[in-house]
Amino acid sequence: METTTPSSTSVHTTAPILPEVPSQGVHIPNPEERRWWEEPPVERKFVNDIPAFIGKGDNSEVWPLYNRKAKEIHESAIEDWDKNMDVLLVFSALFSAVVTAFLVVSIALLSSNPSQQTVDALTVISAQLAALTAPGSAATPAYQAPDSFVPATSSVVINIFWALSLTVSLFTSVLAMLAKSWLHKYSTGLSSAPAEQARQRYWRYDCLVNWNVPAIVSALPIMLHVAVFIFLIGFMIFLWPSSSALTAIMAIVWVAGGLAYFLLALGPVIWIRCPYAS
């Protein structure tokens, strides 16, 4: 009797699927899995708002943010400097014209005056004719032209002060024009790529600071103030031979103005709330 054994059946077992355990830290997505162009735009106002995983590549969000902030801060300061240069150029042009008009008059004091020699000769001739008509009067000596002309010391000092004042004023104008071109260079020829534009802005502004362009711009008004002060000293010497009373009155006015200028400049240093900062 044949016995049949039941066919053995193979049993397939499958391992159970474990649930995913959430990570404890911040999940950093793989850049290849992200579709950047499908995400809604987010306006970043601070550098800390930008996620750390974005990095600092050429397409990073940090570069447009830096360019916007640099344009607000750097160009605001540069625009203020540029406006100050415009005011300095206008004042320097007017002041140089005034000094030039006075210098034209004072330059004549350094050379002999032919008209004065003519007047002196006619005075001698008139005295000689009067001696001829008056018997017994002493004879008047003949007129002799001076061998050399020596200008007065006051005339030399006046011309030194006024020529120096004009030179400082013109030199300030030249520096102001150069400074305007330096400041204009900061915002011209910038790249359209945000990363490259950020590098250019940083490099240009860093060069302006390292090469003391802000200090030069701040020194230009001081140079003009010195030029005005030198001119006023020469003007006081110019008025002294004409009228001592007029010179004394103008000296009082100038000393009062200089004292007021000193107090206005010193005010912000002593009082923090003083608005006279310059």
| All structural domains of the chain with their residue ranges | 62-133+148-223
Q: How far is it, in rounded angstroms, from Cα 61 to Cα 66?
A: 9
Q: Is the predicted pLDDT of residue 265 greater than 90, yes or no?
A: no
Q: How much is the pLDDT for 13?
A: 45
pLDDT band at 256 (very low <50, low <70, confident <90, very high): very high
pLDDT band at 268 (very low <50, low <70, confident <90, very high): confident
Which carries the bigger pLDDT value, residue 22 or residue 149?
A: 149
Average pLDDT of the residues in 38-52: 55
Q: Is the predicted pLDDT of residue 122 greater than 60, yes or no?
A: yes
Which carries the bigger pLDDT value, residue 200 or residue 57?
A: 200
Q: Is the predicted pLDDT of residue 198 greater than 80, yes or no?
A: yes
Q: Is the predicted pLDDT of residue 6 greater than 50, yes or no?
A: no
Q: Is the predicted pLDDT of residue 218 greater than 70, yes or no?
A: yes
Q: pTM for the whole thing?
A: 0.67
Q: How far is it, in rounded angstroms, from Cα 89 to Cα 83?
A: 10
Q: What is the DSSP string of the chain?
A: ----PPPPPP----PPPPPPPPPSS-----TTT--GGGSPP----SGGGS-GGG-SSTT-THHHHHHHHHHHHHHHHHHHHHHHHHHHHHHHHHHHHHHHHHHHHHHGGGS--HHHHHHHHHHHHHHHHHHHHSTTPPPPPPP---S-----HHHHHHHHHHHHHHHHHHHHHHHHHHHHHHHHHHTSS--SSHHHHHHHHHHHHHHHHHTTHHHHHHHHHHHHHHHHHHHHHHHHHHHTTT-HHHHHHHHHHHHHHHHHHHHHHHHHHH-TT-----
- What integer best gives the mean pLDDT of the chain? 78
Average pLDDT of the residues in 126-135: 66
Q: Which of 41-55, 71-85, 150-164, 212-226 has the lowest mean pLDDT?
A: 41-55
Q: How much is the pLDDT for 147?
A: 63
Q: Which of 20-29, 88-97, 115-124 has the lowest mean pLDDT?
A: 20-29
Q: ∠163-165-167 over CA atoms, to 5°?
A: 70
Average pLDDT of the residues in 232-259: 89
pLDDT band at 35 (very low <50, low <70, confident <90, very high): low
Average pLDDT of the residues in 183-211: 87
